[in-house]
């Protein structure tokens, strides 16, 4: 028992781990909640697109010598706005438009970076995360942004669900579908940006989608899903950090692998929708 307590408390003795735990939990909770609306909408691809859309913004910020997070946020929001506007053309499916901007954004980032030699080391933390190097200011910024996102998601939850389940009925009922689309894309962008330091651009989609997918398998009720997804996201983030501390391996990768393991368990063992239950 004493050994277990020592193992649990040891990482908390380090200030950098305390910061990492706080940011990991906040990102897990925020991405879990926002991810629920993404999964209900069936638009996981938009999360990947926004994550890649952040890339050219960071590249431009690197070339100009300004803050990476600010550049990434602006680029992500601009791409989300373009996707929302172009998607209003009913001749094009939303996933088609997303695919176009997915490739364009990442290509733009590559072109911009090709003009700046020596960029690879500076952007390593952006691509793969650097949660152990987070400062007190980063913790405050993530906490403030996360609180704002949770408040917005709570305020718009009914409207976002209505649009996610049936866009045409929502439009007929008088809901501002365009503005709600823009609000959701903006929330996805913000959730991705605050999570970049935790898991990096390459893995951030998993933190947004996987906990929500687990919750979707475990319950049919939206209220329960909105509680389960952030709980799973936070616990997986904590578990991944503990494993990183113990094994000396990459924190972002372990957080995602733990979340993936939980997803596989839910896929197999979920009470109503698990593979084994359906087989019986």
Name the least confident of 25-29, 51-55, 115-119.
115-119
> What local confidence, expressed as pLDDT, does residue 227 receive?
94
Six-digit token pair at 59?
């590249």
Give how many domains the chain has, as a whole number: 1
> What local confidence, expressed as pLDDT, does residue 153 receive?
92
Q: Are 11 and 17 in contact (CB under 8 A)?
A: yes
Whether the per-residue pLDDT at 66 is higher than 80: the answer is no
Confidence band of 22 (pLDDT split at 50, 70, 90): very high
pTM of this structure = 0.82
Whether the per-residue pLDDT at 131 is higher than 70: the answer is yes
Which domain does 206 fall in, by range?
A: 2-279
> For residue 39, how far is the Cα from the chain centroid?
12
What average pLDDT score do residues 46-68 get? 77
* Counts for the chain of helices (H) and strands (E), in that order: 13, 0
Whether the per-residue pLDDT at 143 is higher than 60: the answer is yes
Six-digit token pair at 265?
């368990």
Q: Nearest CA to 136 among 256, 22, 279, 13?
A: 22
Six-digit token pair at 5?
């307590």
User: Using one digit for the tens of pLDDT, what is the confidence trace for 91-129?
Assistant: 667 667 777 777 787 778 777 776 766 555 556 666 667
> What local confidence, expressed as pLDDT, does residue 179 receive?
86
User: Using one digit for the tens of pLDDT, what is the confidence trace for 210-238?
Assistant: 999 999 999 988 889 999 999 999 999 99
Helix axes 68-86, 177-199, angle to 10 degrees: 150
The domain spanning residue 204 has which CATH number? 1.10.3470.10
């Amino acid at each position: 028992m004493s050994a277990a307590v020592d193992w649990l408390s040891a990482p908390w003795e380090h200030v950098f781990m305390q910061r990492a735990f706080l940011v990991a939990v906040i990102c897990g909770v925020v991405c879990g909640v926002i991810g629920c609306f993404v999964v209900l909408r069936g638009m996981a691809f938009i999360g990947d697109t926004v994550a890649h859309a952040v890339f050219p913004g960071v590249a431009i910020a690197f070339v100009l010598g300004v803050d990476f997070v600010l550049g990434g946020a602006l680029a992500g929001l601009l791409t989300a706005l373009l996707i929302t506007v172009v998607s209003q053309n009913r001749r094009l499916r939303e996933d088609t438009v997303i695919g176009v901007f997915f490739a364009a954004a990442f290509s733009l980032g590559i072109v911009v970076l090709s003009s700046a030699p020596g960029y690879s080391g500076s952007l390593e933390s952006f691509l793969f995360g650097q949660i152990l190097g987070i400062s007190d200011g980063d913790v405050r910024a993530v906490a403030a942004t996360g609180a704002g996102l949770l408040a917005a998601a709570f305020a718009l939850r009914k409207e976002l669900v209505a649009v996610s389940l049936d866009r045409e009925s929502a439009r007929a009922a008088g809901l501002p579908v365009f503005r709600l689309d823009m609000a959701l894309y903006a929330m996805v962008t913000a959730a991705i940006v605050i999570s970049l330091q935790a898991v990096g651009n390459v893995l951030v989609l998993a933190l947004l989608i996987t906990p929500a997918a687990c919750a979707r398998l475990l319950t049919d009720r939206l209220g329960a899903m909105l509680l389960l997804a952030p709980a799973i996201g936070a616990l997986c983030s904590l578990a991944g950090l503990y494993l990183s501390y113990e094994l000396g391996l990459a924190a972002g990768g372990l957080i995602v692998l733990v979340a993936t393991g939980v997803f596989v368990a839910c896929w197999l063992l979920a009470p109503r929708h698990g593979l084994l239950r359906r087989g019986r």
